[in-house]
Structure 1
Amino acid sequence: MSTENQCVIIHDATLRDGQHAVRHQLGTEEVRLYAEAADRAGIPVVEVGHGNGLGASSLQIGRSRLDDDAMLTTVREALTGTRLGVFMAPGWGTGTDIRKAVDLGADVVRVAAHCTESSVTERHLGLVRELGVEAQAVLLMSHMSDAGRLAEECTRAVSFGAQAVGIMDSAGHYLPADVRERIGAITAAVDVPVIFHGHNNLSLAVANSLAAIDAGATILDACARGFGAGAGNTQLEVLAAILDRQGLRTGIDLRALLQAADLAQEHLMPGPPLIDSVSVMSGLAGVFSGFKLPVLSAAAAAGVDPMDVFAELGRRQVVAGQEDLIADVIQALKEAS
């Protein structure tokens, strides 16, 4: 397809999805430093929060170092031209969390649902529209559904008020052909911008993002240095450089973005994400990337092979929020050995 004059909106999830990689422990100074750098680079949207979104800080999936109010206030104060985004999944977050986030300056609110359950977004998308900020809807673990069903779910979300819709490759499971098929079906079904969010378990996050653009997506998610759950997300500065080379307009200052990525590596993360053997197994098994650290910790304590744990979690088709099943799987593996 021709890319002449095509505009792509980059949605930077470094300060939200990146939290998974550090057990949601980013502090005020780290959050502020990166937000300021992202703003200088002209990134359109910076998303901030607990890795699982508004209201998700909990014993089950991890307490965040900063609460939602502190994170949002810090980032809002750091942004001058960049919009502030938040992510919310019903069941973790509530309408009250959305109202508070908007009061604190959120410009874009994403409401997320499992790939076959867009119906749970209706009330929250309606609330976001009532509050006068941009409402988006994303489908999680989207590899667990086919293109036709994803298009139906996105169409339903649009009817609820979503002004952009899309899919997350939460497990890093897709191949580029999978992305083209699904994004193509969604863009054919809706008349709002389409979103793609990739993970890098099979080293395909950038390639899959480019495939999404080819199929009609105009909003891409990415993180500095790929900072994110498991093997990480689409690497922001690499994606932006490729889009620039292709002649696609992002409005981002690439030199300033590279500086922001350097800052992120120095201040936000112990090291860039690594595609290790466990990450590959997670991607192949179709298990949410955020399971990596909990699985490694629990498997080591129990003396079982984390590869076996991921294989069984994939067989059971677990989703984010079912981290308690890790212990059940480990116990079953020990009893079977």
Structure 2
Amino acid sequence: MTKDVTILDVSLRDGSHSVRHSFTEAQVSAAAKGLNAAGVRYFEVSHGDGLGGSSLQYGLSAVDELKLIEAAAAQCTTSEVAVLLIPGIGTKQDLQNAVSAGAKMVRVATHVTEADVAAQHIALGRELGLKTVGFLMMSHMAPVEKIVEQAKLFESYGAEAVYVTDSAGAMLPPDVTARISALKNALQCDVGFHAHNNLSMAMANTVAAVEAGATFIDGSMRALGAGAGNTQTEVMVSVLEKLGYNTGIDLYKLIDTANDVIAPLMQQPQEITAGSLVLGHAGVYSSFLLHAQKAAKQFGVDERDVLMKIGELKAVGGQEDLIYEVAQSLVKA
């Protein structure tokens, strides 16, 4: 019996980290056109750190994200634009503006132990008629029981799906299986999974997630994303279909979009470098990589030492300033 899986492509959001938030309207429009033609149900468009993320701390966007959302939405006939919102970075007004620009889904993201800060944003998403999802970031940092507790909070606020998010690319397949299985048993809503490839486990972890019952799965074309990138969407579609899952996606059209639109705009290949490997090893937020490289160069220290120390400190998204403090402290040491 064929099982259905919904693929959500994050190239135009998570990939923003990799290209230093330099997406143009033309690039987003071309990618959106290809994703729509390929039959990808949802794809995410916003600053890498979500709505409102364009700032000196997180990195300034070359183009206002509302213009990018509008450009993407204009290409959609069957696909729908999703946005990420991290409470404390994005606001309720940002979400309302995104809806006006054409967004149809919101994924409200919190640290894995802080789902309670998202209640008003989840409620607003439902009120605005959006497909509304809870996104538990850095899910490797909490035991299964805590993840279940936090996922139940998301569901109680109105989330229609809850994601286990391996933001650091630190998980192994047994870690994923345990978390997804527990949520499937505890929740009535759908369960999703978002991977990073810092330990070369993104595809294996994705397969583990769907085999454990996840029905929403993230990927990015050409693996374009923070750190070593995400599960590569076009490869994932092929693998899942070989395993008997129905994605509803035209593989050739997806490959063409990945090769003709995404590959030319990439500033470097998505590969597991020294820094991205240490991200996964130390359990560090994938979007910290470029900040760590910049800080290491500025202070003349090894980016690996910076990332290992950040891992020891258990830093989370929003603590980018700590990266520079750590680099400076390594000089003094």
- Give the one of 97, 100, 104 matched to 2:97: 100
Alignment of 1:227-242 (within 5 A): 227-242=224-239
Q: What secondary structure does 2:229 align onto?
A: coil
> Any conservation in 1 of the 2:115–2:136 contact (CA below 8 Å)?
yes
> Any conservation in 1 of the 2:125–2:132 contact (CA below 8 Å)?
yes
Distance in 1 between residues matched to 2:63 and 2:142, nearest whole Å: 35
Give yes or no for the alignment of 1:255 onto 2:252. Answer: yes
1:7 matched to which residue of 2?
4
- Give the one of 159, 162, 171 matched to 2:168: 171
Q: What secondary structure does 2:54 align onto?
A: coil
> Any conservation in 2 of the 1:193–1:217 contact (CA below 8 Å)?
yes
Distance in 2 between residues matched to 1:158 and 1:269, nearest whole Å: 37
AA matched with 1:141: M
> Any conservation in 2 of the 1:53–1:87 contact (CA below 8 Å)?
yes
Distance in 1 between residues matched to 2:294 and 2:101, nearest whole Å: 36
Alignment of 1:106-255 (within 5 A): 106-255=103-252
Distance in 2 between residues matched to 1:226 and 1:13, nearest whole Å: 9
Over 6 Å off, 4+ runs? none
Distance in 1 between residues matched to 2:212 and 2:261, nearest whole Å: 31
> Any conservation in 1 of the 2:222–2:263 contact (CA below 8 Å)?
no
| Structure 2, unpaired ranges of 5+ | none
AA matched with 2:76: L
Alpha-carbon deviation of 1:172?
0.4
> Any conservation in 2 of the 1:10–1:45 contact (CA below 8 Å)?
yes
Deviations 1:176-201 (A, max 9, x none): 00000111111111011101000000
- If the length of structure 1 is used for normalisation, what is the TM-score? 0.97
- If the length of structure 2 is used for normalisation, what is the TM-score? 0.98
> Any conservation in 2 of the 1:46–1:85 contact (CA below 8 Å)?
yes
Alignment of 1:84-99 (within 5 A): 84-99=81-96
1:281 matched to which residue of 2?
278
2:329 matched to which residue of 1?
332
Across the two proteins, how many residue pairs are aligned to each other? 333
> Any conservation in 2 of the 1:265–1:271 contact (CA below 8 Å)?
no
Q: What secondary structure does 2:3 align onto?
A: coil
> Any conservation in 2 of the 1:57–1:64 contact (CA below 8 Å)?
yes
Alignment of 1:293-312 (within 5 A): 293-312=290-309
Q: What secondary structure does 1:111 align onto?
A: strand
Distance in 2 between residues matched to 1:272 and 1:240, nearest whole Å: 21
2:62 matched to which residue of 1?
65
Distance in 2 between residues matched to 1:264 and 1:203, nearest whole Å: 24
Distance in 2 between residues matched to 1:132 and 1:267, nearest whole Å: 36
Shift in alpha-carbon separation, 1:265–1:102, aligned structure 2, 3 A: closer
Q: What secondary structure does 2:4 align onto?
A: coil
Deviations 1:64-113 (A, max 9, x none): 11112101110010111111111100001011011111122211111010
Distance in 2 between residues matched to 1:271 and 1:7, nearest whole Å: 34
> Any conservation in 1 of the 2:184–2:213 contact (CA below 8 Å)?
yes
The Cα RMSD (Å) is 0.9
Alpha-carbon deviation of 1:263?
2.0
2:40 matched to which residue of 1?
43
2:28 matched to which residue of 1?
31
Alpha-carbon deviation of 1:266?
3.2
AA matched with 1:11: L
Deviations 1:306-337 (A, max 9, x none): 1111110000001111110011111211111x
* Identity of matched residues, %: 44
> Any conservation in 2 of the 1:137–1:157 contact (CA below 8 Å)?
yes
Distance in 2 between residues matched to 1:275 and 1:227, nearest whole Å: 12
AA matched with 2:234: E
| Structure 1, unpaired ranges of 5+ | none
Distance in 1 between residues matched to 2:330 and 2:2, nearest whole Å: 55
Distance in 2 between residues matched to 1:48 and 1:106, nearest whole Å: 9
